[in-house]
Amino acid sequence: MIMSRSVHEAFSAQAARTPDAVAVSGSDRTLTYRELDERANRLAHRLAGLGAGPDVPVAVLLERSTDVVVTFLAALKAGSFYQPIHSAYPADRRQWIVDHSKATILVTDEASKGLGIPSIADVVLASEDLADQPATAPAVTLDDNAPAYVMYTSGSTGEPKGVAVRHTDALALALDSTWDTGNHERVLLIAPHAFNVSTYEIWVPLLHGGTVVVAPEGKLDIPTLGSLLAAHRITGVHLTAGLFRVVAEEAPESLAGVREVLTGGDVIAPTAVARVLEVNPDLTVRAMYGATEGTVFSTNSAITAPYTPGPVVPVGRAMDGVALHVLDERLDPVPDGTVGELYFGGVGVALGYAGRPDLTGERFVANPFGEPGSRMYRTGDLVRRTPAGEIEFVGRATDQVKILGFRVELAEIEAAIAGHPGLADVAVVAREVKAGDVRLVAYLVADSGAPDTAAIRERVRSRLPEYMLPAAFVVVERLPLTANGKLDRAALPQPEFEAAGASRAPSGPKEEALCRAFSAVLGVEEVGVDDSFFDLGGHSLLAMRLLNRIRAELGVELKINTLFDTPTVAGLAQLL
DSSP secondary structure string, 49-111?
TTT--TT-EEEEE--SSHHHHHHHHHHHHTT-EEEE--TTS-HHHHHHHHHHHT--EEEE-HH
Question: What pTM does this model have?
Answer: 0.87
Reported confidence tier of residue 174, pLDDT bands at 50, 70, 90: very high
The pLDDT value recorded for residue 438 is 86
Mean pLDDT of the chain: 92
pLDDT at 406: 83
Within this chain, do residues 137 and 10 fall inside the same structural domain, yes or no?
yes
Tens digits of residue pLDDT in 192-235? 999 999 999 999 999 999 999 999 998 889 999 999 999 999 99
Average of pLDDT values for 236-250? 93
Per-residue pLDDT, 546: 94
Examine the domain organization and report whether 383 and 416 are in the same domain. no
Asked whether residue 422 is assigned to any structural domain, the reply reads yes
Measured from the Cβ of residue 124, the count of other Cβ atoms closer than 10 Å reads 20
Task: Indicate the residue among 167, 192, 222 that finishes a domain.
Answer: 167
- In this structure, are residues 246 and 541 in contact, taking their beta carbons and an 8 Å threshold? yes
Closest CA to 6 of 212, 201, 199, 170: 170
Q: Give the DSSP H or E segment for 153.
A: strand 147-153
pLDDT tens track for 136-168: 999 999 998 999 999 999 877 778 999 999 999
Straight-line distance from the first to the last Cα atom of the chain, in angstroms, rounded to the nearest whole number: 57
Residues 6 or more apart whose Cβ sits within 8 Å of residue 357 = none
At residue 218, the pLDDT reads 87
Q: What is the pLDDT of residue 154?
A: 85
Q: Do 99 and 18 share a structural domain?
A: yes
Confidence of residue 3 (pLDDT cuts 50, 70, 90): low
Provide the CATH number for the domain around residue 23: 3.40.50.980
Co-location of 85 and 146 in the same domain: yes
**Rounded to whole angstroms, what are the CA distances from 295 to 46, 211, 409, 434, 474?**
28, 21, 19, 31, 37
User: What Cα–Cα distance (Å) separates residue 177 from each residue in 10, 109, 288, 392?
Assistant: 16, 36, 14, 22
Give the E-state strand segments of 154-298 in sequence order.
161-166, 186-189, 211-214, 236-240, 260-264, 284-289
Co-location of 77 and 136 in the same domain: yes
Which of 340, 369, 395 finishes a domain?
Answer: 395
Statement to judge: residues 327 and 440 lie in one domain: no
- CA torsion sign, 418 to 99 to 403 to 523? positive
Query: Is residue 503 assigned to a domain?
Result: no
Q: At residue 379, does pLDDT exceed 50?
A: yes
289 lies in some domain = no
Assess if residue 220 is contained within a domain. Answer: no
**7 and 145 together in one domain:** yes
CA angle (553 as vertex; 276, 469 as ends), nearest 5? 70
What's the mean pLDDT in 170-191? Answer: 97
Residue 109 main-chain phi, psi, to 5 deg: -130, 175
Q: Across the chain, which distance is largest between two alpha carbons, in Å?
A: 73
Q: Which domain holds residue 444?
A: 408-476
What is the tens place of the pLDDT at every residue in 514-551? 999 999 999 888 899 999 998 888 888 899 999 999 98
* Residue-wise DSSP of 521-564: HHT-S---TT--TTTTT--HHHHHHHHHHHHHHH-----HHHHH
Residue 104 included in any domain:
yes
Would you say residue 501 has pLDDT above 60? no
Name the 3-class secondary structure at 35.
Answer: helix
What mean pLDDT is predicted for residues 295-315? 94
- The CATH number linked to 456 is 3.30.300.30
Under the banding of pLDDT at 50, 70 and 90, the label for residue 126 is very high
Cis peptide before 306 (omega within 30 of 0): yes
Average pLDDT over every residue of 246-267: 94
Q: Note whether 275 and 304 are within 8 A (CB).
A: no
Q: Do 463 and 348 fall into the same domain? A: no
Number of domains in the chain: 4
335 and 451 share one domain: no
Q: What is the Cβ-side half-sphere exposure of residue 136, based on CA atoms within 13 angstroms?
A: 2
Question: How many whole angstroms separate alpha carbon 238 and alpha carbon 542?
Answer: 19
State how far the alpha carbon of 261 is from the alpha carbons of 439, 468, 505, in Å: 25, 27, 43
Distance CA 451, CA 521 (A): 29
Indicate if the pLDDT at residue 354 is higher than 50.
yes
pLDDT at position 1 is 41
Q: Amino acid letter at 56?
A: V
Main-chain dihedrals φ then ψ at residue 328, nearest 5 degrees = -95, -170
Co-location of 391 and 413 in the same domain: no
Residues 385, 415, single domain; the answer is no
Q: Is residue 251 part of a domain?
A: no
Q: What percent of the chain has pLDDT over 90?
A: 73
Tell me: do 16 and 94 sit in the same domain. yes
Give just the sign of the alpha carbon dihedral 296, 385, 1, 55: positive
Is the Cβ–Cβ distance between 496 and 562 less than 8 Å? Answer: no
Residue 448: other Cβ atoms inside 10 A: 9
Across 385-406, average pLDDT = 85
**Angle at CA of residue 280, ends 185 and 560, nearest 5°:** 80
Whether the predicted pLDDT of 93 surpasses 60: yes
Residue 45 has pLDDT above 80, yes or no: yes
- The DSSP code sequence of 329-393 is TTSPBPPTTS-EEEEEEETT---EETT-HHHHHHHEEE-TTSSTT-EEEEEEEEEEE-TTS-EEE
Instruction: Read off the CATH number of the domain in which 342 is found.
Output: 2.30.38.10
Give the span between the Cα atoms of 515 and 509, in whole angstroms: 10
pLDDT > 70: what percent of the chain?
A: 98
How much is the pLDDT for 267? 83
pLDDT of residue 500: 56
Which CATH number do you get for residue 553?
1.10.1200.10
Among 395, 425, 448, residue at a domain's last position: 395
Residue 499: predicted pLDDT: 61
